[in-house]
Structure 1
Amino acid sequence: MKLIINKTPTDAGVIEVSGVDFSHTDTTVFRALTLSIAPGAVTAVTGPNGCGKSTLLELLAGVHPVAAGTIARGTRNVALAVQRSAVTDSFPVTVTEAVMMGRWRHLGLLRRPGTKDRATVEYWLTELGLTDLRHRTMGELSGGQRQRVLLAQAFAQDAPLLLLDEPTTGLDADSARLVLAHLRRFADAGTTVVAATHDCALIAAAEHRVELG
């Protein structure tokens, strides 16, 4: 099965962060943070645990309001893949249903998947080795399996801005290489990819790097 990744206009993935302040539970995470994310490229966000890598992704996705400053995005269509630990074992959906959730933005008012939606989900189930797990619930999966489901869900969104939190954590070597290859394909098609990571291979594959202290 072949999936065509649509070309994304370069300006859709533009991100400009200017003078951003953000605190979480009275702890300052960022003060006057200013940075630019290159569109149509892979950017690795690195730094020690607790430095705010996951928080930065959430801010870029618009999950949290900033206390000061601005975050300008060229699109509202953003795919965010959280860490697998953020999904509870009791999440009551099957693997197929979880990946189909990535197509919700594309569905009509009745939320009925069309031919393209089903084909997209099937493609990512196959690509990430999830076809035999399609009827299992998230709580029945191992950490690596759950990680692949969350990535498939994000990839299925076909968004011009793809934000990934430790995308290769828990994956075996072959799966990690496959994910990196897909990130390269997305970027080559114009998608802006931002990944918080400790993975040396992903960092080496990225065109740009944001180091948080």
Structure 2
Amino acid sequence: MNKLELFSGCGVFRLGFENAGYKFNKVIFSEINKHAIANYNYNFKKSIYAGSVIDIRSDELPEIDIISFGSPCQDFSIAGNGVPMKAGTLTAGGNSGGLHSDMTVIPVLTPDRLNKRQNGRRFKNEGEAAFTLNCQDKHGVMITKKHGSHQSQIRRLTEIECERLQGLPDDWTKYGLYEKGLKEIAKTRRYEMIGNAVSEPVVREVAKRIKKCLI
């Protein structure tokens, strides 16, 4: 079985599928963020990098069984122009020569960004607010730690705490394989990758249900 990951980020789609029991002969991934690419290459040593999604041509691919993608949401969120994504706008370039007619395509977007502010505050219908992970380190991801009855200390969630909230192993985003070799990834970039990622338990559950349908 071969898998194509578009907008692969730090590889949560692949991680979720593998944790659901999938075995892949080849995984081709597409990403443009150099830190996410380096982190993907570190966590998944045997992968094929395909460049940007606009450069992918299906007639140059092996036969693909599963395509997954978590497309960037900024353009149609309140951080962008707010225009909803049209069906069929996210496709691999070229003809369909390398794609199975019965392949599985799994698009997963982040939660409704039209109702979520990019600093992590989401406003519910009843007017209450819930905080979510974000990819903008300058805003920070904050929690309250109380000391006594009259004092409280506000601190940022650590990178590992954010990884755990996304269902990732500890230090999943800590290292990257760059052109010049292994390098520790800066905290700012780690927060960015984690905030841009989908949640591994969600991907794993979707993958398990797909497997049941294929049996």
TM norm structure 1: 0.28
The structure showing larger relative contact order (alpha-carbon pairs under 8 Å, at least 6 residues apart) is: 1
Q: Comparing both structures, which one devotes a greater share of its residues to helix?
A: 1
Bigger-Rg structure (1/2):
2
